[in-house]
Amino acid sequence: MSNKQFDVVVIGGGPGGYIAAIRAAQLGFNTACIDEWKNAKGGPAPGGTCTNVGCIPSKALLQSSEHYEQAGHHFAEHGISLSNLSMDVAKMLARKDAVVKQNNEGILYLFKKNKVTFFHGRGSFVKAGGIGYELKVSGANEEVIEARHVIVATGSNARALPGVPFDEQNVLSNDGALRIPEVPKKLGVIGSGVIGLEMGSVWRRLGADVTILEALPTFLGAADEQVAKEALKVFTKQGLKIQLGVKVNEVKNGAKGVTVSYTDAKGEAQTLEVDKLIVSIGRVPNTNGLNPEAVGLKLDERGAIVVDDQCRTNLPNVWAVGDVVRGPMLAHKAEEEGVAVAERIAGQHGHVNFDTIPWVIYTSPEIAWVGKTEQQLKAEGRAYKAGSFPFMANGRARALGDTTGFVKFLADAKTDEILGVHIIGPYASELIAESVVAMEFKASAEDIARICHAHPSLSEATKEAALAVDKRTLNF
């Protein structure tokens, strides 16, 4: 029997892969997607890290824990009194699993709708041959298929501390951090990056005593300094014990918990005893089982697939997108690359603007930004104007009872073009979209300042921050 043949085969069904497959199918290509993720019953669970152990479940737990915190600490301000408030962690985790399942099923439905052939199993290169490349699918059955174009979207895995493997019982990656069966009394987190802050917040809200150990002396170095400073102040006030400039020397995983020996910023030896330890020190590109050597697919020293700015690898008609290539490890970046590659295969001009990829940290307050930070502009020697507006002066924020933070605009000193927007505050994740659109259209701060924003809305803080660039705020 001859091999099944496809115009496009996507290896990996995360946000990069499944979106690439859908777009390729929309463009008329006979498309397949291979993904190996298994649900608890061994069935298919497309959606990758993002859907299964990343974006979606973390946001489900952030929502549940935020409700609990609101009920415990803020409902009373509204005249709502509660007694016997309790948290059923098993139910919270079951709800999170149900949300994940809905997303897995949604992707399988989208594959059907768009006529994408789905293979549940591991995809690997066999050789260049047939109509382009021969790929092996190893699942319940094993078969070889052929592809004219291959898009590799195999994602990333959590980085472990050297010599400290994840057991997912005590030493947890993002996977274990999303399914701790009961609230730990003491939780340690290594790394105060995005996962450390989001997952640390979840378990802190539910009652854990959380200590975060960060190697760098600066907090949230990628964010605007003013935002990072405000965030550190607020998170510390909330009870997260964040220690910067530490050196982790040893982690002992014992029957009763985990002991972390470290040197603090003053150079003093310290130990931290915790019930559970989340290690969130970044992620590594994943090409496990892909067999890139079979076709000579080039990887860099970090194990990432080498691509050009159009996601072309060193091999003809083999493309790679998402976490497995350079650039920020974000779901929306992976999706944009997936769409762009499908369009390039179709001879169109797919594009991804790396300068306008938004960043969001879903803590409370949320943190979001797009474009350059003030420290980057200073380092570049660029002449800029800055303006900010506090949520304290925004009517909607006061009505919400959530007035922490501000919106900050950075604009070119001469042309007024928006160079960066930084938000810390309520719904920053949603508010940032306006600034992304504005920057894509090369808008000036004055453009935003002249647009009518609904009242009362948080988006008025964006307009006011744009006005602040020329010292013309109306409500502050």
Among 31, 103, 170, 174, the residue binding ligand FAD under the rule CB under 6 A is 174
CA distance 44 to 41: 9
CA distance 405 to 390: 6
> Is residue 14 a contact residue for ligand FAD (CB under 6 A)?
yes
> Is residue 295 a contact residue for ligand FAD (CB under 6 A)?
no
> Is residue 125 a contact residue for ligand NAI (CB under 6 A)?
no
> Is residue 202 a contact residue for ligand FAD (CB under 6 A)?
no
CA distance 157 to 68: 30
Q: In the annotation, is 455 catalytic?
A: yes
Which among ligand FAD, ligand NAI, none contacts residue 401 (Cβ within 5 to 8 A by kind)? none
Binding to ligand FAD, residues 92-121 (CB under 6 A)? none
Q: Which of 73, 74, 351, 455 is catalytic?
A: 455
Which among ligand NAI, ligand FAD, none contacts residue 365 (Cβ within 5 to 8 A by kind)? none
Question: Under the phi-then-psi rule, with left for phi > 0, alpha for psi from -120 to 50, and beta for the rest, what region is 106?
Answer: alpha
Give the dihedral sign, CA 22/23/29/31: negative
Among 49, 170, 192, 403, the residue binding ligand FAD under the rule CB under 6 A is 49
> Is residue 364 a contact residue for ligand FAD (CB under 6 A)?
no
447 is annotated as contributing to ligand binding: no
> Is residue 216 a contact residue for ligand NAI (CB under 6 A)?
yes
> Is residue 10 a contact residue for ligand FAD (CB under 6 A)?
no
195 is annotated as contributing to ligand binding: yes
282 is annotated as contributing to ligand binding: yes
Burial 370-399 (b: 16+ CB within 10 A, else e): bbbbbeebeeeeeebbbbbbbbebbebbee
Q: How many CB atoms lie within 10 A of CB 349?
A: 8
Please answer whether residues 425 and 461 qualify as being in contact, where contact means their C-beta atoms are separated by less than 8 angstroms: yes
331 is annotated as contributing to ligand binding: yes
> Is residue 36 a contact residue for ligand FAD (CB under 6 A)?
yes
Among 56, 227, 345, 361, the residue binding ligand NAI under the rule CB under 6 A is 361
> Is residue 15 a contact residue for ligand FAD (CB under 6 A)?
yes
Among 286, 313, 435, 462, the residue binding ligand FAD under the rule CB under 6 A is 286
Q: Which long-range contacts (CB under 8 A, 24 or more apart) does 96-103 make?
A: 96/57, 96/60, 96/61, 96/64, 96/178, 97/40, 97/57, 99/56, 99/57, 99/60, 100/45, 100/47, 100/51, 100/52, 100/56, 100/57, 100/60, 101/39, 103/47, 103/51, 103/56
> Is residue 327 a contact residue for ligand FAD (CB under 6 A)?
no
Q: At 280, is the secondary structure helix, strand, or coil?
A: coil
CA atoms within 13 A on the CB side of 412: 10
Q: Are strands 186-190 and 276-279 parallel, antiparallel or unpaired?
A: parallel
CA distance 207 to 201: 10
> Is residue 150 a contact residue for ligand NAI (CB under 6 A)?
no
Cβ of residue 330: shortest distance to ligand NAI, in angstroms?
5
Q: 456 preceded by cis ω (within 30°)? A: yes
Which among ligand NAI, ligand FAD, none contacts residue 12 (Cβ within 5 to 8 A by kind)? ligand FAD
> Is residue 281 a contact residue for ligand NAI (CB under 6 A)?
yes
Q: Which of 407, 461, 416, 409 is nearest to 442 (CA)?
A: 416
156 is annotated as contributing to ligand binding: yes
Number of residues that bind ligand FAD (CB under 6 A): 38
**Residue numbers at the binding site for ligand NAI (CB under 6 A):** 161, 190-196, 198, 213-216, 248, 280-283, 328-330, 360-362
**Can you say which residues are annotated as belonging to the binding site for NAD(+)?**
191-198, 214, 282
Instruction: Give catalytic residues, as residue numbers.
Output: 455
**Residue numbers at the binding site for ligand FAD (CB under 6 A):** 11-17, 34-37, 48-50, 54-55, 58, 122-124, 153-156, 174, 195, 286, 289-290, 322-324, 329-332, 334, 362
